[in-house]
């Protein structure tokens, strides 16, 4: 019993239990049943008898609309596809034969008890009852169409929700890729910071120098047709590296060096400041005897971006 009342509450709370729709259905059906077979013009058919028939038909059709809505609600609420297929014929038989027969018997009894009229001896079945059955089919059609509209609406809402979830997932994947990219760059930065530079210093021979002590790599004038990569440390010492080209050094220290000119790499860790004037931009490096370098046109933005990237990576590392 409790389950029945819960189902009834769900029925009246749903769109199936819309009483305004029942009133409209009952009024249209009662109007059609009452004035369908009248031989007089419509405005001349509003007699007392017609009004009584209209009110009686309205009550009957209102109850009928509620019953059809309830049965539609029960059948449409079947969750199992097996049950829906099993009850589809039961629904057809109920709506097409059983329910019209019950309505016919009720109308017979009402007319016989209230008006003393035996409808079986009249043209009621051929005339008014056909309209009643037609109105019943229209009511069922309304609930079928309305049900499909609701399902399509829910389907569209589900599609929109799936699109939003997909977009959110794509954004998360992009965020993960960005984090992975930053993590990879941080690992590369740590490897580059731990990779020493093999240098042949004047009066000291070959030594390993940490990259954070280097100021610049540069190519001096070729000696015997061979280009030699020189190095300048922040403490002023100079020497030669084992690398044969600036591109090799740039490949090993891509996050720590910037190619200022074709013949010179500067260490981003050695940058003290960048001075901007109306005409030129100057680069000041840490170290003894370092002179300000003119930053070539178009290189200032790239240099600042490389410096900002290194600063962000070092902050995240810290």
Do 124 and 225 fall into the same domain? no
What burial class does residue 64 get, using C-beta atoms within 10 Å of its C-beta: 0-12 exposed, 13-18 middle, 19+ buried? buried
Do 159 and 29 fall into the same domain? yes
Do 148 and 289 fall into the same domain? no
189 has pLDDT over 70: yes
Q: Which of 46-60, 66-80, 190-204 has the lowest mean pLDDT?
A: 46-60
Partner residues linked to 210 by β-bridges: none
- CA distances (Å), 211 to each of 190, 203, 217, 284, in order? 11, 20, 11, 18
CA 50 from centroid of its chain's CA atoms: 58
Do 135 and 231 fall into the same domain? no
How high is the mean pLDDT of the chain?
79
Q: What is the mean pLDDT of residues 268-296?
A: 83
What pLDDT score was predicted for residue 47? 58
Cβ contact 64:137 at 8 Å: no
Cβ contact 233:209 at 8 Å: yes
Do 124 and 267 fall into the same domain? no
Q: For 238-250, how does the pLDDT look when each residue is reduced to its tens digit (9 = 90+)?
A: 888 888 788 888 8
CATH classification at residue 265 = 2.40.50.1020
State the residue for tokens 């760059």.
185
């Amino acid at each position: 019993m409790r389950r029945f009342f819960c189902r009834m509450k769900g029925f009246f709370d749903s769109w199936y239990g819309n009483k305004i729709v029942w009133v409209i259905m009952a009024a249209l059906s009662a109007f059609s049943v009452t004035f369908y077979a009248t031989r007089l013009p419509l405005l001349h058919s509003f007699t007392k008898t017609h009004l009584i028939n209209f009110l009686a038909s309205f009550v009957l059709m209102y109850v009928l609309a509620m019953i059809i809505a309830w049965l539609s609600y029960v059948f449409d609420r079947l969750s199992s596809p097996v049950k829906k297929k099993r009850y589809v014929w039961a629904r057809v038989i109920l709506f097409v034969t059983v329910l019209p027969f019950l309505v016919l018997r009720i109308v017979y009894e009402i007319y016989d008890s209230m008006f003393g009229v035996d409808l079986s001896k009249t043209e009621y079945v051929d005339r008014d009852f056909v309209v009643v059955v037609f109105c019943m089919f229209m009511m069922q059609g309304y609930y079928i169409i309305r049900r499909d509209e609701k399902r399509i609406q829910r389907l569209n809402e589900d599609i929109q929700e799936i699109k939003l979830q997909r977009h959110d997932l794509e954004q998360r994947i992009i965020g993960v890729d960005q984090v992975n990219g930053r993590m990879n760059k941080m690992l590369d930065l740590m490897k580059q910071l731990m990779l020493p530079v093999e240098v042949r210093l004047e009066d000291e021979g070959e030594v390993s120098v940490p990259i954070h002590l280097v100021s610049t790599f540069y190519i001096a004038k070729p000696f015997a047709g061979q280009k030699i990569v020189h190095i300048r440390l922040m403490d002023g010492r100079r020497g030669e590296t084992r690398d044969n080209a600036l591109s090799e050094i740039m490949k090993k220290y891509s996050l720590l060096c910037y190619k200022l000119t074709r013949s010179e790499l500067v260490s981003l860790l050695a940058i003290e400041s960048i001075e901007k004037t109306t005409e030129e931009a100057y680069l000041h490096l840490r170290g003894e005897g370092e002179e300000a370098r003119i930053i070539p046109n178009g290189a200032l933005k790239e240099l600042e971006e490389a410096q900002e990237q290194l600063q962000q990576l070092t902050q995240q590392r810290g």
